[in-house]
Chains A and B, each alone.
Chain A
Amino acid sequence: LGAGALILDDADEAMLAGEHGAACALGMRTVVAVAEGMRASRLLDITGAHIDGCIYYGRVCLDWALRFRTLGGHVRVPTTLNIGLLDLLHPGLTDLPEETARPARELMETYVELGANPTFTCAPYQLAGSRPGFGEHVAWAESNAIVFANSVLGARTNRYGDFFDIACAVTGRAPAAGLHLTEPRRARVVLDVSALSDALLASDVLYPVLGLLLGGLAGNRVAVIDGLPAGLHEDRLKAIGASAASAGAVAMFHAVGSTPEAATLADALQGEQPEAVVPVTPRDLRAARDRLQTARPDAALDGVCVGTPHASADELRRIVAALDGRHVRIPVWVNTARGILAGLAETRVEEALRDAGVTVVVDTCTYTAPVVRAVRGTVMTSSGKWAYYAPANLGVEVVFGSLEECIRSAVAGRIVRDDDFWA
Chain B
Amino acid sequence: MTSGLEIARGHVLAAGHGSGTAFVTDPVSFWGGVSADDGVIIDVHHRDRGRSVAGTVLVMPVGRGSSSASAVLAETLRVGSGPAAILLASPDIILAAGSVVARELYGIECPIVELDAASFEAVTACDGAPLGVDASDDLAVIRALDEECDLDP
- Which residues on A are within 8 Å of B, measured CB to CB? 1-3, 26, 29-30, 33-34, 36-39, 52-53, 55, 57-61, 63-64, 67, 141-143, 146, 158-164, 167, 249, 389, 392-393
Contact = CB atoms under 8 A, between A and B. Distances in A.
Interface residues of B, number: 43
Contacts of A393: 32
A60 B75 CA distance: 5
Contacts of A160: 67, 93-94, 97
A52 B72 CA distance: 13
A137 B11 CA distance: 26
Interface stretch (B12-20, B123-131, B142-150): B12-20
A215 B100 CA distance: 29
A60 B67 contact: no
Given A1-B11, A57-B36, A159-B93, 17 more contacts: A3-B138, A30-B97, A30-B101, A33-B14, A34-B93, A34-B96, A52-B68, A58-B78, A60-B101, A60-B105, A63-B78, A67-B104, A159-B65, A160-B94, A161-B67, A161-B71, A162-B70
Given A37-B13, A57-B71, A29 B91 contact: no
A161 B102 contact: no
Interface string B103-134: 01100000010111000000000000000000
B10 interface: yes
Interface of B: 10-15, 31-32, 36, 43-44, 62, 64-72, 74-75, 77-79, 91, 93-94, 96-98, 100-102, 104-105, 112, 114-116, 138-139
B93 A158 contact: yes
A1 B105 contact: no
A64 B67 contact: no
A141 B64 CA distance: 15
B100 A36 contact: no
Contact of B100 (A34, A39, A389): A34
A304 B66 CA distance: 25
Contacts of A57: 31, 36, 68, 71-72, 75
A67 B74 CA distance: 15
A164 B93 contact: yes
Contact of B68 (A2, A30, A59, A162): A162
Given A1-B11, A161-B93, A161-B97, A61 B116 contact: no
B67 A159 contact: yes
B27 to A, nearest CB: 10
B94 A161 contact: yes
Contacts of B139: 3
B15 A33 contact: yes
A162 B71 contact: yes
Given A58-B36, A58-B75, A59-B78, A159 B94 contact: yes
B44 A392 contact: yes
The 10 closest A-B pairs by CB, nearest first: A58-B75, A3-B138, A161-B94, A37-B13, A164-B97, A161-B67, A162-B71, A161-B70, A60-B74, A57-B71
B67 A33 contact: no
A166 B109 CA distance: 21
B104 A26 contact: yes
A58 B32 CA distance: 13
Nearest to A35: B93
A29 B104 contact: yes
A164 B67 CA distance: 10
B137 to A, nearest CB: 8
A144 B78 CA distance: 28
B74 A161 contact: no
A39 B13 CA distance: 9
Contact of B98 (A63, A67, A143, A163): A163
Contacts of B105: 60, 63-64, 67
**Residue among B65, B72, B97, B114 with the most chain A CB within 10 A?**
B97
B97 A34 contact: yes
Which one of A1, A3, A142, A393 has the highest number of Cβ atoms from chain B below 10 Å of its Cβ?
A1
Nearest to B77: A60
Nearest to A52: B67
Given A34-B100, A36-B138, A161 B68 contact: yes
Given A34-B93, A57-B75, A1 B114 contact: yes
A264 B98 CA distance: 39
Contacts of A61: 71, 75
A163 B71 contact: yes
B65 A249 contact: yes
A61 B67 CA distance: 13
A53 B71 contact: yes
A382 to B, nearest CB: 22
Nearest to A248: B64
B14 A163 contact: no
Contact of A30 (B36, B43, B100): B100
A162 B72 CA distance: 10
A58 B81 CA distance: 13
